[in-house]
Amino acid sequence: MGSLCNTSSPVPALKFRGGLDRCGDPNSSVGSNSKNGSVQLPMGSFSGNSQPKIVTGEAGYVLEDVPHLIDYIPDLPTFPNPLQDNPAYSVVKQYFVNVDDTVAQKIVVHKDSPRGTHFRRAGPRQKVYFESDEVRACIVTCGGLCPGLNTVIREIVCGLHHMYGVKKVLGIDGGYRGFYARNTIALTPKTVNDIHKRGGTVLGTSRGGHNTGKIVDSIQDRGINQVYIIGGDGTQRGASVIYEEIRRRGLKVAVAGIPKTIDNDIPVIDKSFGFDTAVEEAQRAINAAHVESDSIENGIGLVKLMGRYSGYIAMYATLASRDVDCCLIPESPFYLEGAGGLFEYIEKRLKENGHMVIVIAEGAGQELLSEVLRSSHQQDASGNKLLPDVGLWISQSIKDHFSRQKKMTINLKYIDPTYMIRAIPSNASDNVYCTLLAQSAVHGAMAGYTGFTVGPVNGRHCYIPFYRIIEGHHNVVITDRMWARLLSSTNQPSFITAKDVIEDSREEEEPPKTPQTQTSDDNPADDKLMVNKEMNEHAVID
Ligand SMILES: Nc1ncnc2c1ncn2[C@@H]1O[C@H](COP(=O)(O)OP(=O)(O)OP(=O)(O)O)[C@@H](O)[C@H]1O
Ligand SMILES: O=P(O)(O)OC[C@H]1O[C@](O)(CO)[C@@H](O)[C@@H]1O
Ligand SMILES: [Mg+2]
């Protein structure tokens, strides 16, 4: 296999944009300048806030690399990976990842497309930067619940123990504030053995309470040198500042983020864990709405699903069910009155079928609500805006409209399974996914990487720098074919007209110099179409 630093490799002319001029991977055996193969940096070459580590190669190849402990602590010794002596791993050489393997972010390409952004592939390396009995790991879960949290916790503990012989793993009780306000919990394979069968998180969670200085003091005082942080966008922002502070203090502590969000709104990664389970559980609510509405004249079953900024749960639950006549999400503005509006569609559907099912994401229609309700500016402890209940509002609006109109008597049943879809254990496929995330995080930390979030990109697990994960929300793109599939499955109006969709006149993109948000690979118009910015403005959050 070619090396990133090997001039005979397919990507010979590599340059760092992050202020470094060296090989991309300190584990790489080619281009290194020390006896044990690790790359040594001049002292102080990377002080203060870290810079993105960007490596460029031929034909528009870009590697958005993750930090490594030796970026700021040169001369760290390396050790052979204990997996080399593990019967499960030692036989087949390919079980170890080639240190120069990277994964392409964009896989739909044209003949002349630049190779584009890549991320470092996750997995076990031949060399590690921690000895087994030196490791003191901790795990923390933050933000809202999500199916699979316990599986990730279990697999980090078991992965560290069984693959790397690490015996000391602490659970931080109750989210970030637990670092300095609560006791820790000793985690062993025995104590976590059955936890994947339970919903929630055995460690507890919280919003707010992120005091970076106190958290890093606690990490330092307890002698922790690997920190596994499981949580959503807010949590990963918190992880990023913890990493920066650890780096500023020059500590040999690896910080690994595991992305969690039921809403599936984290950029770059294919999908977040727990999402499949939530979509599956949402089917039960949709089925109930269908049975109720089908059993009564002009029945309307209305189901509200989670999705503060992003309508993925609503969209996938709708596509999976086939009983839904209308799906409303934050990314697709809609209107109630007049031609092409929701009320007109409901009337038509009831006349045709005698019943209908509507699915609405919690963040949908917020601009309509703010016209009738005075916006409260209330926030949760983490600073997330608290949204008024769109389900109650739309139920009442539909009832008021049909009672005013007196043409038709409707029977509306409102079902709100919000917390039911996230307080359950993960399903089989999420359990496997959580295992891969946890093991990839463990391999990354043991190999000395830090300041990264782990996740699949086009099906391959990668180490992704924090700045890419926290740069915005991953939203449903309504010019993607997936939204067209939904529209054709429900037959609902699109609520947009051709004039709302404008040609995107952007030139072919340069390889990214600064972080950018992922675009879908499934866009039939190959990213040439975008929804009129004003229409979709509310989808750009924070
Ligand atoms: N910018 C930030 N800097 C430091 N910490 C943050 C930041 N944003 C959020 N946090 C902390 O991260 C934790 C979780 O944040 P939040 O409540 O927003 O949930 P989340 O991780 O986004 O998960 P989800 O939204 O999926 O439930 C909280 O303890 C919060 O204080
Ligand atoms: O009521 P809580 O615990 O703050 O969680 C609600 C929020 O959590 C999420 O599931 C994830 O952020 C959102 O969809 C929802 O708005
Ligand atoms: Mg969040």
233 lines ligand 2 (CB under 6 A): no
Across the beta sheet with 299-305, the strand order is 326-328, 355-361, 299-305, 411-415
- ipTM for the whole predicted complex goes beyond 0.90: yes
Phi, psi of 472 (to 5 degrees): 165, -170
pLDDT number for residue 376: 67
Mean pLDDT, all residues of the chain: 85
Give the residue from 283, 329, 282, 289 showing the smallest Cα distance to 414: 289
Q: How far is the CA of 331 from the centre of ligand 2 (A)?
A: 17
Residue 369's pLDDT band, with cuts at 50, 70 and 90, is confident
Can you read off the two tokens belonging to residue 31?
């281009």
- pLDDT value at 271 more than 70: yes
pLDDT number for residue 463: 98
* Closest-approaching ligand to the CA atom of 378: 2
- pLDDT value at 88 more than 50: yes
- pLDDT value at 503 more than 90: no
- pLDDT value at 392 more than 70: yes
DSSP E strands in 53-199: the ranges are 53-56, 61-65, 79-80, 102-104, 116-121, 127-128, 136-141, 168-172, 184-187
Residue of the nearest CA to atom 10 in ligand 1?
234
Q: How far is the CA of 422 from the centre of ligand 1 (A)?
A: 17
Distance, CA of 377 to CA of 386 (rounded, Å) = 7
Give the residue from 478, 472, 468, 444 showing the smallest Cα distance to 330: 478
Can you read off the two tokens belonging to residue 421?
């879809």
Residue listed under structure tokens 């290194």: 32
**Mean pLDDT value of segment 384-408:** 93
Q: How far is the CA of 277 from the centre of ligand 2 (A)?
A: 16
Which of 14-18, 77-81, 393-397, 471-475 has the weakest average pLDDT? 14-18
Q: Are strands 226-231 and 136-141 parallel, antiparallel or unpaired?
A: parallel
Q: How far is the CA of 191 from the centre of ligand 3 (A)?
A: 29
Element (H, E) at 215: helix 212-221
In the chain, % of residues over pLDDT 90: 74
pLDDT tens digit sequence for 6-58:
323 333 333 434 333 333 455 443 333 333 333 333 333 333 467 999 999 99
Secondary structure class of 433 (helix, strand, coil): helix
Q: Which of 235, 255, 264, 466 to mutate to test the pocket of ligand 1 (most atoms within 8 A of CB)?
A: 235
pLDDT number for residue 117: 97
Q: What is the DSSP letter of 10?
A: S
Can you read off the two tokens belonging to residue 438?
């946890």
Distance, CA of 3 to CA of 500 (rounded, Å) = 48
Can you read off the two tokens belonging to residue 196?
């994947």
Give the residue from 515, 460, 444, 514 showing the smallest Cα distance to 26: 444
pLDDT tens digit sequence for 324-335:
999 999 999 999
Q: Which residues have a Cβ under 8 Å from the Cβ of 505 and sit 6 or more positions away?
A: none
- pLDDT value at 541 more than 50: no
pLDDT number for residue 502: 52
Residue 361, exposed/middle/buried by CB under 10 A (0-12, 13-18, 19+)?
buried
- pLDDT value at 314 more than 90: yes
Residues for the chain: how many in total? 542
205 lines ligand 1 (CB under 6 A): no
- List the catalytic residue out of 263, 323, 325, 430: 263
Residue 461's pLDDT band, with cuts at 50, 70 and 90, is very high
Which of 157-166, 374-383, 449-458 has the weakest average pLDDT? 374-383
Is 263 among the residues known to form the active site? yes
Residue of the nearest CA to atom 1 in ligand 2?
144
Distance, CA of 447 to CA of 226 (rounded, Å) = 11
- pLDDT value at 540 more than 70: no
Distance, CA of 174 to CA of 156 (rounded, Å) = 18
In the chain, % of residues over pLDDT 70: 82
* Closest-approaching ligand to the CA atom of 141: 1
Q: Are strands 168-172 and 116-121 parallel, antiparallel or unpaired?
A: unpaired
Q: How far is the CA of 209 from the centre of ligand 1 (A)?
A: 9
* In contact, 264 and 279? CB cutoff 8 Å: no
In order of 87, 127, 189, 506, 510, the CA distances from 82 in angstroms are: 10, 9, 18, 50, 42
Q: Which of 141, 142, 176 to mutate to test the pocket of ligand 1 (most atoms within 8 A of CB)?
A: 142
- pLDDT value at 467 more than 60: yes
Longest CA–CA separation in the chain, Å? 85
pLDDT tens digit sequence for 185-210:
999 999 999 999 999 999 999 999 99
Ligand 2 atom nearest to 363, measured from its CA: 16
